[in-house]
Structure 1
Amino acid sequence: MTDRRVRFDFEITFSNGGGLQGQGFRLDIEGEDIADDALAAYVIRDMKLLMVADVRILNKQVIEEQHKRADRRDDEPGHAVLAAGYVDLSHTIEDGMVTYKGLPAPLICDHLSREKSRGVYAEGTEFQIGRIQMVGNTGTYMDVPFHRYADGFDLSALSVATMADVPAVVVRTFGVAGRAIDWTHFAPVDCRHRAVLINTGWDRHWRTDQYFEGHPFLTEQAAVYLRDQGARVVGIDSLNIDDTSDGYRPVHSVLLAAGIPIVEHLTALDRVPVEGFTFTAAPPKLKGMGTFPVRAFDPPLSQFLRERPSARITSSLSR
């Protein structure tokens, strides 16, 4: 597939006065085009701008040019889609893929193949009905209290407010010496009522043997701190939020006892800002299960509009 980038100019005005202009900016995109409002949101996020009143995208042109910001492709670990301003934070689930050593890989096959469906439906009409057999701990997944505690709530009782459009903050720890991530890493940020996402960079090892060995994890003190600070959900881009050599699993125990869901095996957290965005990770409404894969993503534009109701994003197409 040919790489595409968008070349554009922009004009920004601020609600407290003043403005900013840019000419000849270029941005990697997936697909053949990107909406003006998505470009506007990207500029605001990338430059960490505050008090934006108006953004105009001008002279937009999509060109065929090799991507510059990342070497990731659709079939490589950590790929994130920028289309419409969203960043995909989930790994793709594939037949035979091992998420966690010792747990079975998913089996994905046809329940009704297209060929066999031709004998069921009218001529020229065919369908595929898929079948999947897997454990809940597959791909990027969410744990809720029932995963750890028999009397904890299961996925069917998970509040939508906990899994959809949650204000989020990213704590970046890659490059830090040692594997243990202690509470001090979270002290500089406001965790209250937020999804706290830990960007260790370990997702770069996804689908390799290295992913299962020596992964970063949170300490029990970090879990207690996040609980006491009122985190709404906690996620990490590592094999496990706990040290897998510790059979007590203190981080799971502390967070799930407090009703705080955990999302593990996230990816592409390096593609989202430290704050100023929201996090969505929605599992199906399943009774009797405490863990299941989620489609996790970052919809930054919704957060921008909600927190700044007086702000107005416009484009050259609407002028």
Structure 2
Amino acid sequence: MTRLIDLSHAIEHGMTTYKGVAAPHICDYWTREQSRANYADGSAFQMGRIDMVSNTGTYLDAPFHRFEEGDDLSMLDLDRLASLPAIVVRRPFDAIGLATDAADLDGIDVAGRAVLVHTGWDRHWRTPAYYEAHPFLTEAAAQMLVARGARLVGIDSHNIDDTRPGTGRPVHRELLGADVLICEHMTNLGSLPDTGFAFTAVPPKIVGMGTFPVRAFAQVDPA
């Protein structure tokens, strides 16, 4: 029987994904008490409301996030998002450091696959350490992934780029410039096999937006 493995963080009222960026505000738009007055049989329901920056929780970056002329979320065909053959690249930060370079990907078959970089950094999620020096890919690693035909690249870290001042976010530029999608702030990659599974991360079909949270998950077939 196929196993489904959740790879997304939950989104909660007031949580921080990026320091200095507004937290989501989640509340009732219409409470159950308000709704009861509209139904003779006493039926009740809740309608929710959320005010949220698009870069919240586990999210997908489309090319429009970086390039004005790039595809926005509404332009992404489902075959770019769902049931992608996938591979995990193990890069434990506490054993090998923070940077993943091109040489670290040499010999790995990424063609046509979602490449998920497992660093273990998600253990720091919603702690002060999460926002400090964190695992990332180098520009050369991104260029190699593009050249070898990766379809999507995900990471369980604060950002796929080195976010220290003056770095210019070259990984976003290289990947999104080649229509390779990005999934950031992933979790639970340690529960996945190295290969032999499918990956899905589908955002809502929103016009004029390049980033939005996803429910990312893996489908693992029995051995």
Fold shared by both chains (TM-score > 0.5): yes
Scaled by the length of structure 2, the TM-score of the pair is: 0.96
Deviations 1:155-206 (A, max 9, x none): 0001211110000000000044331110122212110000000000000000
Q: Please say which of residues 266-275 and 240-249 is displaced more in the overlay.
A: 240-249
Alignment of 1:46-65 (within 5 A): none
- Structure richer in strand, relative to its length: 1
Alignment of 1:306-317 (within 5 A): none
- 2:150 aligned partner: 231
CA distance in structure 1 between the partners assigned to 2:95 and 2:198 by the alignment: 26
- 1:47 aligned partner: none
Q: Which has the higher contact order (CA 8 A, sep 6+)?
A: 2
- 2:84 aligned partner: 166
Q: Secondary structure at the match of 1:86?
A: strand
Q: Secondary structure at the match of 1:116?
A: helix
- 2:49 aligned partner: 131
- 2:192 aligned partner: 272
Structure 1 gaps of 5+ residues are: 1-36, 39-84, 305-312, 314-319
**Is the contact made by 1:171 and 1:185 (CA closer than 8 Å) also made in structure 2?**
no
- 1:154 aligned partner: 72
CA distance in structure 1 between the partners assigned to 2:186 and 2:40 by the alignment: 43
CA distance in structure 2 between the partners assigned to 1:132 and 1:162 by the alignment: 27
Larger CA Rg, structure 1 vs 2: 1
Alignment of 1:75-94 (within 5 A): 85-94=3-12
Alignment of 1:1-319 (within 5 A): 37-38=1-2, 85-174=3-92, 175-245=94-164, 246-301=166-221
Aligned-residue identity in percent: 56
Structure 2 gaps of 5+ residues are: none
When residues 296 and 250 of structure 1 are mapped into structure 2, their CA distance, relative to the original with a 3 A threshold, is same
Tell me the CA shift for residue 120 of structure 1: 1.7
Q: Secondary structure at the match of 2:34?
A: helix
Tell me the CA shift for residue 247 of structure 1: 4.3
Scaled by the length of structure 1, the TM-score of the pair is: 0.68
Tell me the CA shift for residue 255 of structure 1: 0.3
**1:296 counterpart letter in structure 2:** A
